[in-house]
Amino acid sequence: MAGGGTGDPGGGAGDPGGGAEDPGGGALDAAAAERLLATMWRIRAFEERLEPLKRSSMVHGLTHLSIGQEAVAAGVCTQLRDDEPVYSNHRANGHALAKGVDMGKLLAELMGRADGCCRGLGGSMHVVDVAHGFLGATGVVGGNLPFAVGSALASRLLGRARPAVVFFGDGAAQTGIFAETVNLASLWQVPVVFVCENNGFAEFTPRSAHTRVERVSDLAAPFCVAARTVDGNDVVEVHGAFADALSQARAGSGPYLLECLTHRLSGHYVGDPGGYRAALEDEAWRARDPIARLVRQAAAAGWFDAEHARAAEAAARDEVEAAVAFALGSPFPDPSIPAELTYARS
Amino acid sequence: MSHVIPYIAAIQEAIREEMERDERVLYFGQNMATSPEDPFLKQFGPDRVRVTPISETAEIGMATGAAVAGYRPVVELYMAEFLLVATDQVVNEGTRFHFMSKGAVSVPMVMVAGYGFTAGWAGQHTGSIYGMFMGVPGLKVALPSTPADAKGLMTTAIRDDNPVLFFQNYLLLLEEGEVPDGEHAVPFGVADVKRSGSDLTLVATGYAVHTALGAAESLARRGVSVEVIDPRTIAPLDVDTILSSVARTGHLVLVDQATRHSSVAAVIAAEVAELGFSSLEAPISMVTALDSSIAYSKPVEEFVLPDEHKVVRAVEASLGLAPASS
């Protein structure tokens, strides 16, 4: 094996295939639709519970919510194997849950507890779960975009066809590192899928104040990168578009940029006064709630009925309460651990 | 006469007054002036006040270009770690311009960055990274600890003909204090004695000034007289005030929220060891953050950072006092 193991979610030595069952992709069937619904409800229920936990200081630090954006995380991550890595950004809860991070360990992390997936050292912006190929997030916008190129490059060098995925927001497209990364991925034809969650806001600033480029996908063509923009609040559309991108990447193609137009229904972080949100048309977006839409689509397609949808919500809320109990039962970490973790031991 | 305002309002007051005084002062950056109701935008208009994309490298480089053309830009960078994205622009471009042009060009600009959000903002948003900019020739670094100094240093920063890094502390933004009425400029390179004392010299920077003052207060109740010095700017650094204090007290403890080996404390310790050695009656002691990233979890975060208790212990050790029962 080349290099440090934690950068290679293909897992430990002797397990070059990663061992995970291929969760599929391609056209949506009832089972896949049910998985998308369950995933979106798990994210929604988790974050709805997180907000009061944060406001009552049970959750210690900075917390960004993705309520309203669940379709992107679900549509993308549920199709990936454990050895196909995902890099996230500061709004990471949904990506983490959809990629398979244990809900109890995620909440324990957000409460700064010893049983958190990073022993409480990382927090919400820096969740890492190597076993599930969730390679963390960055608190610096765009900071990990090239990591995905490196992961995909390494996978090719190792003789595998394991694409890497990186989520980023529309704000990150204005950083220099974005242009550098997309160009390099194109130049070397690395199998990476750049998934842009375009929610129209970079932190507190609307897109119109950031750029004259209407779509992030417009930035791909000058670098000879294929791209597509989809309705990011339609999980069926996200799933289908990402399935296409993923199958090409697994077949060894170069980079792809998938832009998902969406909207966060809460502030930049919990506690954000949100004065800038007056003109955001939240109500119009609520009508495009990705969960409610999937329930309607499922009824029309015969995937599942309303009763199943209610059961999925109830199951998600039960799982959240179990996660709360687990996290509250976990101790705080030994404060002296920074000494052992500042450097890797060679 | 003075008025009481929060630290952040004092900074804004300085920028506003300098913009009123000098139309060459521009103000732009991230997450500001996003609404037409923004007071700066309303008063000075969109030519002088602008929100930028998340593009630190271009923001700072653009400020350099505008400064060379005669303007005096103030760039709001939001979080100090975002400076690191544009390290070349901060360290190696505008800062070199004056020297390399044999003085033909000057670059009057201010970069405003918040640091030390040590309230669970975790590894990438909590650092006290000012120390790494101390040794950059051509760059001045201001580190206010009070609203009055925040206003006075910002006024001076805008008037200075060099690039200035202005570090505001996130946990102090809403702390109120008295600010002199009218024009208020604090000179660079002049330390302030925040508390007079005769037994030991505490030198603290930025947020740590309050840690030091808290420790000094509790020590005073035990009859220990501690002097607290705040350099206010770390480049230029007023070593003379520190040396003269140490000449009287013979004891020096340095308090800094930066990591030990990238701290202002380490630089001051070296200066006093070389220039004030004969005054010292005990080894210099540094109370800093550990050389570690700052954890998200609260107990681990606290373990890594300096606090009043650690300062008191260091003072006791320097003076040979028995530890207070806690």
Q: Which of A280, A310, A266, A318 is nearest to A292 (CA)?
A: A310
Question: Which of the residues B98, B125, B184, B210 is marked catalytic?
Answer: B125
Q: What is the least distance, in Å, from the CA of B295 to any CA of chain A?
A: 4
| Closest A-chain CA to B84 | A140
Asked if the model's pLDDT at residue A280 lies above 60, the reply is no
| Cβ separation A61–B54 shorter than 8 A | no
The per-residue pLDDT for A2 is 38
Closest CA to A119 of A133, A134, A101, A105: A105
Instruction: List Cα–Cα distances, B203 to A39, B118, B130, B153, B173, in angstroms.
Output: 54, 21, 16, 19, 22
Q: What is the DSSP letter of B325?
A: P
Average pLDDT over every residue of B54-59: 94
Q: For A8-31, what is each residue's pLDDT tens digit?
A: 333 333 333 333 344 444 568 999
Which chain A positions have a beta carbon within 8 Å of B117's beta carbon?
62
Tell me the one-letter amino acid at A25: G
Q: Is the ipTM of this complex over 0.90?
A: no
- How far is residue A328's CA from residue A321's CA, in Å, rounded to a whole number? 11
Residue A178, helix vs strand vs coil: helix
Q: Which residues of A touch B297 (CB under 8 A)?
A: 60, 112-113, 116, 119-121, 123, 332-333
For chain A, the domains span: 24-271+281-326
Q: What is the pLDDT of residues B201-213, one digit of tens each?
A: 999 999 999 999 9
Provide CB contacts within 8 A for B272, sequence distance 6+.
Answer: B239, B242, B243, B246, B252, B280, B284
- Between chains, do B295 and A276 touch, taking CB under 8 Å as contact? no
Note the pLDDT of residue A315. Answer: 98
In this prediction, residue A203 carries a pLDDT of 67
Q: Alpha-carbon torsion A153, A154, A157, A161, what sign?
A: negative
pLDDT for A191 equals 95
How do residues B176-195 score in pLDDT, each as one tens digit? 999 999 999 999 999 999 99
pLDDT digits (tens, 9 = 90+) for B72-85: 999 999 899 999 99
Q: Which of A103, A91, A39 is nearest to A65 (CA)?
A: A91
Distance separating alpha carbons of residues B273 and A229, to the nearest angstrom: 63
Over residues A50-91, the pLDDT tens digits come to 988 988 888 888 788 888 899 999 999 999 999 999 999 988
Q: pLDDT-based confidence at B173, cuts 50/70/90?
A: very high
Task: Identify the pLDDT of residue A7.
Answer: 38
Beta bridge partners of B179: B3
The model's pTM: 0.90
Q: At B226, is the secondary structure helix, strand, or coil?
A: strand
Residue type, B260: R
> Using one digit for the tens of pLDDT, what is the confidence trace for A304-314?
999 999 999 99
> Quick one: what percent of chain A has pLDDT higher than 90?
64
Give the torsion sign (CA, B86, B87, B92, B96): positive
A vs B, Cβ pairs < 8 A, gives: 135
The residue type of B308 is E
Segment B158-168 shows an average pLDDT of 98
pLDDT higher than 70, residue B197: yes
Tokens 């270009």 sit at which residue? B65
User: Rounded to whole angstroms, how far apart are CA atoms A341 and A119?
Assistant: 11
Q: Taking all residues of chain B, what is their mean pLDDT, rounded to a whole number? A: 95
B184 is catalytic: no
A175 touches chain B (CB under 8 A): yes
Say yes or no to pLDDT of B140 above 60.
Answer: yes
- Closest-CA residue of A relative to B79 is A140
Residue with tokens 């089972």: A31
Phi, psi of B233 (to 5 degrees): -120, 140
Cβ–Cβ gap A175/B55 under 8 Å: yes
Closest partner CB to B51 (pick from A209, A333, A335): A209
Residue-range domains of chain B with CATH: 2-180 (3.40.50.970), 192-319 (3.40.50.920)
Give the tens place of pLDDT for each residue, A86-113: 999 988 999 999 999 999 999 999 999 9
Whether the per-residue pLDDT at A256 is higher than 70: the answer is yes
Residue B304 has its nearest CB partner, among A140, A177, A338, at A338
User: What SS3 state is found at B142?
Assistant: strand
Residue A343's pLDDT is 87
Q: Is A276 on the interface with B (CB under 8 A)?
A: yes
Q: Tell me the residues of chain A between 21 and 50 that have a Cβ less than 8 Å away from chain B.
A: none
- CATH code assigned to A24-271+281-326: 3.40.50.970
pLDDT of residue B225 exceeding 80: yes
DSSP A92-161: -HHHHHHHT--HHHHHHHHTT-TTSTTTTSS-GGG--BGGGTEEEE-SSTTTTHHHHHHHHHHHHHTT--
Neighbours of A20 (CB within 10 A): 19
Predicted confidence at residue A274, as pLDDT, reads: 63
Q: Does A209 touch chain B (CB under 8 A)?
A: yes
Cβ distance B299 to A335 less than 8 Å, yes or no, reads: yes
* Residue contact B296–A126, C-beta within 8 A: yes
Task: Report the percentage of chain B scoring pLDDT > 70.
Answer: 99
* Cα→Cα distances B139→A3, B204, B257, Å: 39, 21, 21
Token couple for A168: 């980023």
Contact B298 A60 (CB under 8 A): yes
A231: alpha, beta or left, given left = phi > 0 and alpha = psi -120 to 50?
A: beta
The secondary structure of chain A in percent helix, strand, coil, rounded to multiples of 5, reads 45, 10, 40
Q: Residue B296 and residue A177: Cβ atoms within 8 Å? A: no
Contacts of B291 in chain A (CB under 8 A): 342
Q: What is the pLDDT of residues B267-303, one digit of tens each?
A: 999 999 999 999 999 999 999 999 989 989 999 999 9
The chain A residue lying nearest B82, using CA atoms, is A140
DSSP-derived 3-state class of residue B270: helix
CB < 8 Å to A60, chain B: 119-120, 296-298
- The answer for A 212-271 residues in CB contact with B (under 8 A) is none
Which SS3 state, helix, strand or coil, does residue B122 take?
coil
User: What's the average model confidence in pLDDT over B98-116?
Assistant: 95
d(CA B302, CA B285): 20
Asked whether the predicted pLDDT for residue A3 surpasses 70, the reply is no
